[in-house]
Amino acid sequence: MTRRLFVGNVPYTATESTLRDLFSQYGEVEGAQVAVDRETGRSRGFAFVDMATDAGAQSAIANLNGYQLNGRPLTVQEARPREEGAGARGMGFGGRR
């Protein structure tokens, strides 16, 4: 079963290939996506890595959480499920004026 990992504090210069190579040391990587800003195309400083097995995901978390990548300590944890409509909630749209 595929496990999705959230990777925070990713250096802006890191690519999907960089993350795939790093995480593949701990198990099979099915995919890696660096989040980019829609307007500028620049990295937003976080990414998601899909590991093929739970064991690989747990090994990557244990070994890479706090790992220094280009001088930045990575935050690696299991990704939480995305909440529906979370983007618009609490943004102050509508309501009383």
Q: Which pLDDT tens digit goes with each residue over 44-87? A: 999 999 999 999 999 999 999 999 999 999 999 999 988 876 55
Contacts of 61 (CB under 8 A, 6+ apart): 5, 76, 77, 78
Model confidence, pTM: 0.83
Q: Is 20 exposed, middle or buried (0-12, 13-18, 19+ CB in 10 A)?
A: middle
CB 22 within 8 A of CB 68: no
Q: Does domain 3-78 have CATH number 3.40.50.1010?
A: no
Q: Which of 26, 8, 28 is nearest to 69 (CA)?
A: 8
- pLDDT for residue 93 is more than 60: no
